Amino acid sequence: MQQATLNQRKILTSVLAWLIGLMIFFPIFWTILTSFKTEADAIASPPMLFNFSWTTENYTEVLSRSNYFLHFMNSVIISVGSTILALIIAIPAAWSMAFSPTKRTKDVLLWMLSTKMLPPVGVLIPIYLLFREWGLLDTRTGLVIVLTLMNLPIVIWMLYTYFKEIPVDILEAARMDGASLKNEIIYVLTPMAVPGIASTMLLNVILAWNEAFWTLNLTAAKAAPLTAFIASYSSPEGLFYAKLSAASTMAIGPILIMGWFSQKQLVRGLTFGAVK
Amino acid sequence: MSSIHLKNVVKRFGEVEVIPPLDLEINDGEFVVFVGPSGCGKSTLLRVISGLEDATEGTIHIDDQEATSMPPGERGLAMVFQSYALYPHMSVRKNISFPLKMAGMDQNEINSRVNEAAKVLNLSDYIDRKPGQLSGGQRQRVAIGRCIVREPTAFLFDEPLSNLDAALRVNMRLEISELHKNLKTTMIYVTHDQVEAMTMADKIVVLRDGYIEQVGSPLDLYNKPDNKFVAGFIGSPKMNFFSGDVAAQYNADSIGIRPEHMDSSTESGKWSGVVKVAEHLGSDTFLHVVLDDLGAALVRVPGDMPVTTGDRVYATPRTNELHRFDAQGKTIKN
Ligand SMILES: Nc1ncnc2c1ncn2[C@@H]1O[C@H](COP(=O)(O)OP(=O)(O)OP(=O)(O)O)[C@@H](O)[C@H]1O
Ligand SMILES: [Mg+2]
């Protein structure tokens, strides 16, 4: 009896989870499907599911019209660059907050997180003016800096929660065993923190890859990443749903594949280490 | 060779004084046990000795050398943590060799020492496993192995057996005692289990609220406790305490008598009472009695005494085993 209700519950939650999963995935699925339709089929009503004439002309068209490779490289450089820079700043910061906290440590953390609550558009004008002043508009350097600053609070917060999980006993054991601070960090702390650092890195790359506010507002052509590349197909002068879909598919493809391969790390990252 | 001397050591966390000024001498080769109730500062004292925690005031000498501000790694002390604190990402071999590697020892020497330690501790079969694949007792042995390879001047143990089940605890207790006999190295052992303290120690330090209540050999503390606290803390089952008229008869504020120091009878005796519960263990009988006018008491009778709940029994304290305390709880010497 008990077993039966338990099984029913299990089936119910599985069905629900699948439904929600499909709902979330549907837009991506539809985008990919649309990218293989002709422009006419793409806006056909009622919408066509599989019974349209499949074509790859959107992709050839998009590839010939814009420099996909340039945007792709920009995306890679900006997301990876800002992630590495953020980690370099965040690791020592999180370390000191996790292992030698003071009365105000929690306040500092909350304050950092609170900066994420400000709508970015609130600081667009000052940042835009600064960037113009310093010649950083439409440069990769400028975007790396701005995205580093945007994601730093989250990176520090995540690393802090990971470092917190490392039992202090083990670090103390290393100290008793005669390890210097340097050796303690190299041989004991870092190897134990690697999973946490990796998930933080992955999540941050994804956030930076998909960031569309600053990348659209601070770039024109040279430094524009894939987000800007997508946006260039949603121009008001015409409805290019199929081409827009093709561009989107090409933009999210790389990050989707990366996410697929690093699922386990990513789940850890997204749940802030709650799942092991 | 290592003696440890603490002089006027004080430890404060902010405003809170966990250890008031304290003096303690630990001689070379001694097995010293710190006991006391939870929160009395045993771990803190051990950590101050280890260097993981700085002494707020006072000095620590190890082998006549001032060590008060030495970092933990330089004090030549090895520590076994309650949580074992093994390096989870390293194999047993790597764990045990870590302190040697940090000391920059030659790889051949490291290997031979690690193999030797693994043999002594029965770890040879697990040498390539990670700590996560070991049982509690095996982890404990790895933690000890990590200490012995260094040939430290003293071992520090912080409740090393509290995570093990009862049977294993007895085993490991013997193993540690044996280790001490073989190595003859100074050992400081923290526990709140007074059986561990009694069976292992050369010298017991009883702590309460950071104060040392008494220092002495296990039998000293058992036979001649300085005060009521030590009398009640050392010995199992606990000493019975009575105050009021009966204590006045002995010219004391209160008196104490251990359960094993009363003679019992079903016919006559000094004190009379009714059995509430009788525990028949075969070797002993524990009588929980309610004594007329005195209240609840525990009497330990060797062998079996055929009584049950509700029976009337008589208990006679052995006068020479009776402890008398003044109003401050101090022992009144005879
Ligand atoms: N880092 C710290 N900051 C503030 N107070 C502390 C700190 N460490 C310990 N204390 C306090 O010091 C007192 C003694 O703690 P300690 O850990 O030494 O007790 P213990 O005798 O080892 O107890 P147990 O048997 O439970 O392990 C406790 O009241 C504890 O709250
Ligand atoms: Mg403790």
pLDDT at residue A1, as a whole number: 56
The torsion of the CA quartet A253, A259, A262, A265, rounded to 10 degrees, works out to 170
- The binding-site residues of ligand 1, defined as CB within 6 angstroms of any ligand atom, are B 13, 16, 18, 36, 38-44, 192
Residue A180: list chain B partners with CB under 8 A: 73, 102
Which atom of ligand 1 is least distant from the CA of B210?
14
How far, in Å, is the centroid of ligand 1 from the Cα of B219? Answer: 28
With an 8 Å Cβ cutoff, are A173 and B77 in contact? no
Q: Is the peptide bond before A46 cis (omega within 30 degrees of 0)?
A: yes
Torsional class of B51: left (φ above 0), alpha (ψ -120 to 50), beta (otherwise): left
Domain that holds residue B116: 4-230
Buried b (16+ CB within 10 A) or exposed e, A211-236: beebbebbbeeebbbbbbbbbbbeee
Regarding whether B222 and B313 lie in a shared domain, the answer is no
Contacts of A187 in chain B (CB under 8 A): 98
Among the bound ligands, name the one nearest to the CA of residue B158.
Answer: 2
Cα–ligand 2 centroid distance for B241 (angstroms): 28
**Residue A232's pLDDT band (cuts 50, 70, 90):** confident
- Whether residues B145 and B266 fall in one domain: no
B141 in a structural domain: yes
Ligand 1, atom 7: closest residue by C-alpha? B13
CA of B39 to the centre of ligand 1 (A): 5
Pairing of strands B154-158, B77-80: parallel
Looking up residue B10, the CATH number of its domain turns out to be: 3.40.50.300
Give the chain B residue nearest A183 (alpha carbons).
B102
By the 10 Å C-beta count (0-12 exposed, 13-18 middle, 19+ buried), B60 is classed as buried
Q: What is the pLDDT of residue B35?
A: 94
Q: How far is B99 from chain A (nearest CA, A)?
A: 5
Distance from C-alpha of B42 to C-alpha of B62, rounded to nearest angstrom: 19
Residue of A nearest to B147 (CA): A177
Q: Which residue has the higher pLDDT, A242 or B289?
A: B289
Q: Do B105 and B203 sit in the same domain of this protein?
A: yes
pLDDT in tens, chain B (334 residues): 689 999 999 999 989 999 999 999 999 999 999 999 999 999 999 999 999 999 999 999 999 899 999 999 999 999 999 999 999 999 999 999 999 999 999 999 999 999 999 998 889 999 999 999 999 889 999 999 999 999 999 999 999 998 888 888 898 899 999 999 999 999 999 998 888 999 999 999 999 999 999 999 999 999 999 999 999 999 989 999 999 999 999 999 999 999 999 999 999 999 999 999 999 999 999 999 999 989 999 999 999 999 999 999 999 999 999 999 999 999 998 7
Provide the 3-class DSSP secondary structure of residue B190: strand
The bound ligand whose nearest atom lies closest to the alpha carbon of B39 is 1
What average pLDDT does chain B have? 93
Q: Are residues B302 and B210 in the same domain?
A: no
Boundary (domain end) residue, out of B196, B213, B230: B230
Instruction: For residue range A147-165, list pLDDT tens digits in order.
Output: 999 999 999 998 898 888 8
Residue B243 belongs to domain with CATH number: 2.40.50.140
What does the block give as tokens for A72? 């792709």
For residue B332, being part of any structural domain is answered with no
Task: Tell me: do B191 and B295 sit in the same domain.
Answer: no
**Domains along chain A?**
66-270 (1.10.3720.10)
Q: Measured between alpha carbons, how far is residue A200 from residues A191, A275, B286 in Å?
A: 15, 14, 61
Tell me which chain B residues have a C-beta less than 8 angstroms from the C-beta of A101: none
ipTM metric: 0.85
Dihedral class, residue B37 (left if φ above 0, else alpha if ψ from -120 to 50, else beta): beta
pLDDT of res. B97: 96
Rg (CA), chain B: 24
Domain boundary among the residues B230, B259, B278 is at B230
Contact A178 B52 (CB under 8 A): no
- What integer pLDDT is reported at residue B181 of this predicted model? 93
- Asked whether residue B150 falls in the same domain as residue B266, the answer is no
Q: Is A183 in Cβ contact with B99 (below 8 Å)?
A: no
Q: Which one of A172, A177, A197 makes the best mutation probe of the B interface by having the most chain B beta carbons within 10 Å?
A: A177
Q: Alpha-carbon distance B220 to A250, whole Å? A: 83
B229 alpha carbon to ligand 1 midpoint, in Å? 20
- A176 vs B50, B83, B88: nearest CB: B50
Residues B222 and B248 in one domain: no
Same-domain check for residues B104 and B9: yes
Instruction: With respect to residue B211, please indicate whether it lies within any of the assigned structural domains.
Output: yes
Residue listed under structure tokens 């100074």: B186
Protein residue with least CA distance to atom 25, ligand 1: B38
CA B45 / ligand 2 centre spacing (Å): 9
Examine the domain organization and report whether B51 and B199 are in the same domain.
Answer: yes
Q: What pLDDT digit, counting tens, does each position of A104-139 carry?
A: 999 999 998 888 888 888 889 999 999 999 998 989
Are A176 and B89 an interchain contact pair (Cβ–Cβ within 8 Å)? no
Contact pairs from chain A to chain B, CB under 8 Å: 57
Ligand nearest to the CA of B81: 2
Average pLDDT, integer, range A47-56: 81
Within 8 A of A183 by CB-CB distance, chain B residues are 102
CA angle B179, B182, B183 (to 5 degrees): 80
Considering the domain architecture, whether residues B129 and B8 belong to the same structural domain is answered as yes
Same domain, B147 and B202: yes
User: In the listed set B214, B230, B246, which residue is the last one of a domain according to the structure?
Assistant: B230
> Residue B86 phi/psi, 5° resolution?
-80, 155
Instruction: Say what the alpha-carbon torsion angle A210, A212, A218, A219 is, to the nearest 10 degrees.
Output: 70
**Whether the Cβ atoms of residue B278 and residue B307 lie closer than 8 Å to each other:** yes
Instruction: Decide: B76 and A152 in contact? Cβ < 8 Å.
Output: no
Report the C-alpha gap between B296 and B308 in whole angstroms: 16
- Using pLDDT thresholds of 50, 70 and 90, give the confidence band for residue A238: low
- Residues B243, B213 within the same domain: no
Q: How far apart are CA B180 and CA B148, in angstroms?
A: 11
Q: Which atom of ligand 1 is nearest to the CA of B192?
A: 25
CB contact under 8 A, B52 and A176: yes
In the sheet with B4-13, reading across from the earlier edge strand, the strands are B16-26, B4-13, B57-62, B65-66
Into how many domains does chain B fold? 2
Task: Report the half-sphere exposure of B247 (CA within 13 A, side-chain side).
Answer: 20
CA-closest residue to ligand 1 atom 20? B39
What is the whole-number distance in angstroms between the Cα of residue B81 and the centre of ligand 2?
10
Report pLDDT digits (tens) over B80-101. Answer: 999 999 999 999 999 999 999 9
